[in-house]
């Protein structure tokens, strides 16, 4: 449904620019607003682009391990928040055998620019030889929450 709405808004913006642009200079702000709605962009110069933030997903063998990793990530200011989701069953191939293990999943909210440091931290402190660290961009969200995330995860490391 969102894709249809975005396509509709994009179509309206394109149509407005084609039909109305030659006739009125007041149409520019409307077209900018319609295009912003279609792309999720913001026109405010003080607003932070959403692509600044990412989520990392990391599995752990136990809740204790996940809590320890999460605490270290948050206290190191590499993550603003880590959700620990119990009850995950992972099926995977390792050293030629198919394994099925109970794990917990950590959903870690951070800045995209801090992903390399976050990955390094997980690799150093995780008990697995090859810990899972996969990331995806945050494409939308509550502005107050994203501002809080930005405040809690600085652009660069604050450690010396």
Nearest by Cα to 57 from 101, 122, 102: 122
> What percent of the chain is helix, strand and coil (3-state, nearest 5)?
45, 25, 30
pLDDT of 5 higher than 80: no
Residue that is written with structure tokens 């039909």 in the block: 19
The residues, any chain, with a CB within 8 Å of residue 128's CB and separated by 6 or more, are: 61
Instruction: Give the tens place of pLDDT for each residue, 54-113.
Output: 999 999 999 999 999 999 999 999 999 999 999 999 999 999 999 999 999 999 999 999
pLDDT of 37 higher than 80: no
For residues 26 and 66, the model is more confident at: 66
Instruction: Give the tens place of pLDDT for each residue, 136-147.
Output: 999 989 999 999
Query: What average pLDDT is seen over the chain?
Result: 78
Structure letter (DSSP) for residue 109: E
Average pLDDT over residues 21-38: 43
Q: How far apart are CA 44 and CA 48, in angstroms?
A: 9
């Amino acid at each position: 449904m969102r894709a249809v709405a975005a396509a509709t808004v994009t179509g309206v913006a394109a149509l407005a620019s084609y039909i109305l642009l030659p006739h009125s200079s007041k149409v520019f702000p409307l077209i900018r607003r319609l295009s912003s709605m279609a792309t999720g962009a913001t026109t405010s110069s003080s607003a932070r682009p959403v692509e600044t933030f990412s989520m990392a997903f990391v599995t752990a063998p136990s809740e204790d391990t996940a809590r320890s990793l999460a605490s270290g990530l948050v206290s190191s200011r590499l993550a603003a928040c880590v959700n620990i989701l119990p009850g995950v069953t992972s099926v995977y191939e390792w050293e030629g055998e198919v394994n099925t293990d109970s794990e917990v999943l950590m959903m870690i909210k951070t800045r995209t620019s801090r992903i390399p440091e976050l990955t390094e931290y997980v690799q150093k402190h995780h008990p697995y030889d090859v810990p899972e660290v996969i990331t995806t961009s945050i494409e939308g969200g509550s502005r107050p929450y994203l501002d809080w995330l930005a405040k809690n995860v600085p652009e660069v490391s604050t450690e010396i």
